[in-house]
Amino acid sequence: MNTVSDKIILGIESSCDETGVGIVRLGSTGEITLLADQVASSVDQHARFGGVVPEVASRAHLEAMVPTMDRALDEAGISLSNVDAIAVTCGPGLAGALLVGVSAAKAYAAALDVPLYGVNHLAGHVAADTLQHGALPSECLALLVSGGHTQLLKVEDLAGKITEIGSTIDDAAGEAYDKVARIIGLPYPGGPPIDKAAKQGDPNAIKFPRGLTGPRDPKFDFSFSGLKTAVARWVEGQEADGKPIPVDDVCASFQESVADVLTAKAVRAATELGIGTLVISGGVAANSRLSGLARERCAQAGIELRVPRPRLCTDNGAMIAALGAHLVAAGVRPSSLELPTDPGLPVDTVYV
Ligand code: KG4
Ligand code: ZN
């Protein structure tokens, strides 16, 4: 039941290949309740290219936006006239894809005469966790692992204070999954099939490198392109010798390297910075070995671990609605209707 002071926030996401519309209710004491989370994905249209094709994604957003909106309103059991604010991803992401979501959000905000909040997709991934586990502590570390990003973030305030303390210097973790899947003949996106195959494989079968873990390497930065090349060379070597590719072992050994490096660096960062909570989000957070190893290592180090359910980890509109609700609760000034998109929006700019 809505009270007079409750607010309904609608979130729109279109930065990559998922058109997401989410709806949350912001209660008078700041609690945020998820009312709807509808996603239309164009992933199947990109599969044969082995990665997201920007023009195809933009066209798919255009076609999916209104039907996804209608499904979200239906799921929440509300009409547009109940919406009190609109939040939208304005960056980072694909330029054309972002434009579709931002244009739609402006149109809805203008037509409904409600405030518009242009928000950062990466901060949205962190906000997703609050939908499942409640408010974040005053300080936490976030490990953001997706197809486009791999970052360690210090989050002091979701409504404004997010600082990057490390990031990948080449491929993102999800990108490495997608490229390795292509090398060994598994479908795109590579994360889910590699995760599944790895369960049957031996993680110690092949010793793949651990990127940027030498004594003089940057402590909190990541590198996955050497790992991807090592997998390619190893597979080529097998083929040259006329030997079969043990797909399950390759997957398990590759996955072990990714999970080992991500969790070791995240736990080390939390420990050195004296931060007691680690949040892992983004598409790769759905990985079973990453969450399993993070659980073990966080328990050993006395760190609380929060990993939202897979549906909230991958791109969705609910996380954008949640971030919008945090901004409304914090009394942040809304964006102008001239809100620009910014494909390279830095993570410390939580709203525009
Ligand atoms: O966050 P997301 O949905 O979109 C981006 O913003 O990129 O992440 C997509 C990425 C893809 O690279 C996909 O292969 C990876 O997340 N992914 C996984 C798993 N599920 C999705 N990676 C490893 N294990 C998984 N179970
Ligand atoms: Zn994402």
pLDDT by residue (tens digit) across 122-156? 999 999 999 999 999 999 999 999 998 999 999 99
154/290 same-domain check: yes
82 C-alpha to ligand 1 centroid (Å) = 33
39/64 same-domain check: yes
> Was 112 annotated as part of a binding site?
no
For ligand 1, residues with CB inside 6 Å are 16, 146-148, 174, 177-178, 189-192, 195, 282-284, 286-287, 314-315
- 171: pLDDT confidence band, cut at 50, 70 and 90? very high
Show the domain range for 251: 140-307
Q: Is 134 exposed, middle or buried (0-12, 13-18, 19+ CB in 10 A)?
A: exposed
Query: Among all ligands shown, which has an atom nearest to the Cα of 314?
Result: 1
82/178 same-domain check: no
Q: Which atom of ligand 1 approaches the CA of 15 most closely?
A: 6
Identify the pLDDT of residue 2.
Answer: 58
> Was 195 annotated as part of a binding site?
yes
pLDDT digits (tens, 9 = 90+) for 79-100: 999 999 999 999 999 999 999 9
Q: What is the mean pLDDT of residues 281-301?
A: 97
- Using CA positions, which residue lies closest to atom 22 of ligand 1? 191
177/323 same-domain check: no
Identify the pLDDT of residue 329.
Answer: 96
Lookup result for tokens 């990993």 = 307
Closest by CA position to 69, among listed 55, 93, 88, 44: 88
- 118: pLDDT confidence band, cut at 50, 70 and 90? very high
- Using CA positions, which residue lies closest to atom 3 of ligand 1? 314
Identify the pLDDT of residue 5.
Answer: 80
265/303 same-domain check: yes
Asked if residue 304 has pLDDT above 70, the reply is yes
User: Does residue 248 lie in a domain region?
Assistant: yes
Q: Which of 2-16, 31-45, 149-163, 178-192 has the lowest mean pLDDT?
A: 2-16
Identify the pLDDT of residue 48.
Answer: 83
Asked if residue 4 has pLDDT above 70, the reply is no
Q: What is the mean pLDDT of the chain?
A: 96
User: Does residue 352 lie in a domain region?
Assistant: no
Q: Which atom of ligand 1 approaches the CA of 313 most closely?
A: 1
Identify the pLDDT of residue 190.
Answer: 95
Q: What is the mean pLDDT of residues 25-39?
A: 96
pLDDT digits (tens, 9 = 90+) for 181-191: 999 999 999 99
Lookup result for tokens 């980890």 = 313
Asked if residue 49 has pLDDT above 90, the reply is no
Query: Among all ligands shown, which has an atom nearest to the Cα of 122?
Result: 2
Site to substitute for ligand 1 among 126, 146, 150, 254, most atoms within 8 A of C-beta: 146
> Was 121 annotated as part of a binding site?
yes
207 C-alpha to ligand 1 centroid (Å) = 24
Q: Which atom of ligand 1 approaches the CA of 178 most closely?
A: 14
- 60: pLDDT confidence band, cut at 50, 70 and 90? very high
150/279 same-domain check: yes
Identify the pLDDT of residue 174.
Answer: 96
75/196 same-domain check: no
Q: How many structural domains does the chain have?
A: 2
62/85 same-domain check: yes
> Was 144 annotated as part of a binding site?
yes
237/267 same-domain check: yes
Residue 67: CB atoms within 10 A of its CB come to 13
User: Does residue 291 lie in a domain region?
Assistant: yes
User: Does residue 350 lie in a domain region?
Assistant: no
149/289 same-domain check: yes
Q: What is the mean pLDDT of residues 164-184?
A: 96
How far apart CA 112 and CA 315 sit, in angstroms, is 26
User: Does residue 127 lie in a domain region?
Assistant: yes
178/286 same-domain check: yes
- 50: pLDDT confidence band, cut at 50, 70 and 90? confident
pTM of the full predicted structure? Answer: 0.95
Asked if residue 178 has pLDDT above 60, the reply is yes
User: Does residue 343 lie in a domain region?
Assistant: no
Identify the pLDDT of residue 243.
Answer: 96
**DSSP 8-state secondary structure symbol assigned to residue 168:** B
Asked if residue 47 has pLDDT above 70, the reply is yes
What does each C-alpha distance from 264 to 80, 150, 283 come to in angstroms? Answer: 46, 14, 19
User: Does residue 230 lie in a domain region?
Assistant: yes
Query: Among all ligands shown, which has an atom nearest to the Cα of 173?
Result: 1
Q: What is the mean pLDDT of residues 99-108?
A: 98
107/163 same-domain check: no
What does each C-alpha distance from 116 to 69, 126, 190 come to in angstroms? Answer: 16, 20, 35
- 24: pLDDT confidence band, cut at 50, 70 and 90? very high
Asked if residue 1 has pLDDT above 90, the reply is no
Site to substitute for ligand 1 among 257, 307, 314, 345, most atoms within 8 A of C-beta: 314
> Was 191 annotated as part of a binding site?
yes
β-partners of residue 40 are 19
**CATH code at 186?**
3.30.420.40
User: Does residue 337 lie in a domain region?
Assistant: no
